[in-house]
Amino acid sequence: MSNLLPQYSTIKFTDVWDDVNKFKTDLAGSPFANAISSTTPDNVTLVYYLLYARYGNNPIANEDVNQWKFKIFSVIFQYGPTWEKKLDIQAKLRGIPDADLLIGSKAIYNSAVNPSTAPSTGSLEELTYINGQNTTNYKKSKMDAYAQLLALLEVDVTEDFLNKFKKCFKVFVAPEKPLIYVSEDEED
């Protein structure tokens, strides 16, 4: 039986980090250590496994492994906090109870006849004295509430984040060195 082994001029992602703990240790020892949460939820672990799933067998773009690590960490620093916040917001949106979805906005209209202070026309401050108040409370229909929720929900907030790491890996993933054939002798 023969196997064809591709040879690249640089090592692969899994050659640098074959274990999440190595990744976490390297990130923790870098200036980018606090870019994203390593507590609950542990987004550092999540980022490692997302990178592993997408780029695990891809050769890295740099000859210098340390420079490449800092390139990965700088992408996490640049885009990770926004990605993390989007995950948090999506989780909160998915957790809104139906009763809260039906609550609409509220408008309060106050009127003051002959107040003791004169407001300026450019002032945003409220008067301390009012004569009357009108309120308008809106209630959404279930259909409107669900439509509004669906418009806010995103199927995937991670794809754009993962695409930011493309520059860290070789663009043309093809063997760059001669192919090596490995054969195993079969014993009966």
Q: What is the pLDDT along the chain (188 residues), one digit of tens a residue?
A: 455 566 678 899 999 999 999 999 999 999 999 999 988 889 999 999 999 999 999 999 999 999 999 999 999 999 999 999 999 999 999 999 999 999 998 888 877 776 666 666 677 777 677 778 888 888 999 999 999 999 999 989 999 999 999 999 987 655 555 556 667 765 54
Is position 120 within any domain? no
Is position 105 within any domain? no
pLDDT of residue 179: 57
47 is in which domain, residue-wise?
Answer: 2-96+155-178
Is position 110 within any domain? no
Is the Cα dihedral 112, 117, 118, 124 positive or negative?
negative
- Using alpha carbons, select from 130, 88, 127, 98 the residue that is nearest to residue 111: 130
Q: Which residues pair with 60 in a beta bridge?
A: 169
Query: Is 38 in a helix, a strand, or coil?
Result: coil
- CA–CA distance from 57 to each of 27, 54, 157, 166 (Å)? 20, 8, 23, 13
Domain count across the chain: 1
Neighbouring residues of 149: CB distance < 8 A, sequence distance ≥ 6: 93, 96, 101
Is position 75 within any domain? yes
Is position 56 within any domain? yes
Task: Give yes or no for a contact between 106 and 137, defined as CB atoms under 8 angstroms apart.
Answer: yes
Say if residue 119 is preceded by a cis peptide, omega within 30 of 0: no
Is position 8 within any domain? yes
Is position 148 within any domain? no
pLDDT of residue 134: 84
Is position 172 within any domain? yes
pLDDT of residue 184: 73
pLDDT of residue 113: 77
pTM for the predicted model, two decimal places = 0.75
- Using alpha carbons, select from 154, 164, 159 the residue that is nearest to residue 72: 164
Tell me, rounded to whole angstroms, the distance of Cα 62 from its chain centroid. 25
Task: For residue 162, give both structure tokens.
Answer: 């993962």
Cα–Cα distance measured from residue 177 to residue 180, given in angstroms and rounded to the nearest whole number:
9
pLDDT of residue 156: 92
Task: Give yes or no for a contact between 36 and 43, defined as CB atoms under 8 angstroms apart.
Answer: yes
Q: Which residue blocks in the chain are alpha helix, DSSP H?
A: 13-16, 20-28, 43-55, 65-94, 98-101, 142-152, 159-163
pLDDT of residue 171: 79
Task: Give yes or no for a contact between 162 and 54, defined as CB atoms under 8 angstroms apart.
Answer: yes
